[in-house]
Amino acid sequence: MQKAISQAVIKRLPRYYRYLGELMDEGIERISSSELSQRMKVTASQIRQDLNNFGGFGHQGYGYHVPTLYNEIGNLLGVNDHHNMIIIGAGNLGRALANYENFSKRGTSIIGVFDNDPSVIGSVTGKHQIKDIKGVEAFVKEHGVDIAAICIPKSAAGEVAKNLAGLGVRAFWNFSHMDLELPEEYIVENVHLSESLMQISYMIQDQDKKREKDK
């Protein structure tokens, strides 16, 4: 029986996967939780706790077997499954995503890039010829799409997402500056860039306050 895994642990898994991938590239076969802890700058006890959620792949005194742990976490992350993704919006951000080579290594193939701008439709970005958004319904029905990356302004994002959800797209990677209103069973992962930037300005201000106080 697998117990429910906390959202916080799940959020940390891709980072473990990245570090283990680097260890693989370096040809390292075994690593102790304390060595991994130094590399990742988290405590060794956090690492042990996190990995224990998955039955723990470590053996007392021997550390972790890197390739096993890498594969197991990859499986948990669905890296060895195959998911199709389309990108809605071929502005700079949509193009940036369309040209990421890392995604396919992690199990997600970009199978279409769509826009509504006639001056953009038909042009090529990376390996993709940009398609007319009018054809997205037929495309989704024909190819089956798991994930849609929403890279359009918020004025259009909500409606487009709703339509795609109705066509069977189950997961949304949302870059628009709004929260998508979709029934609970849909998977939504938000990347709100201006909110990420605001964290930085908060931290700058917070640092200034502390420095002022320490004077």
Distances (CA, A) of 155 to 43, 169, 196: 44, 20, 21
How far apart CA 24 and CA 114 sit, in angstroms, is 36
Please report which residue ranges of the chain form alpha helices under DSSP H: 7-25, 33-40, 44-52, 66-76, 92-98, 102-105, 136-143, 154-166, 193-214
Decide whether 104 or 135 has the Cβ nearer to a copy of itself: 104
**Judged by CB, which is closer to a copy of itself: 135, or 144?**
144
The residue among 37 and 99 lying less far from a copy of itself, judged by its C-beta, is 99
Asked if residues 47 and 19 have their Cβ atoms less than 8 Å apart, the reply is no
* Cβ at position 59, least distance to a copy of itself in Å: 26
Comparison of 67 and 91: residue with beta carbon closer to a copy of itself = 91
Beta bridge partners of 148: 86, 172
Q: How far is the CB of 139 from a copy of itself (least distance, A)?
A: 20
Applying CB under 8 A, which residues contact a copy of itself? 10-11, 13-15, 17-18, 41, 76-79, 81, 83, 91-93, 95-97, 99-100, 102-103, 106-108, 125, 146-147, 170-171, 173, 177, 179, 185, 187, 189, 191-205, 207
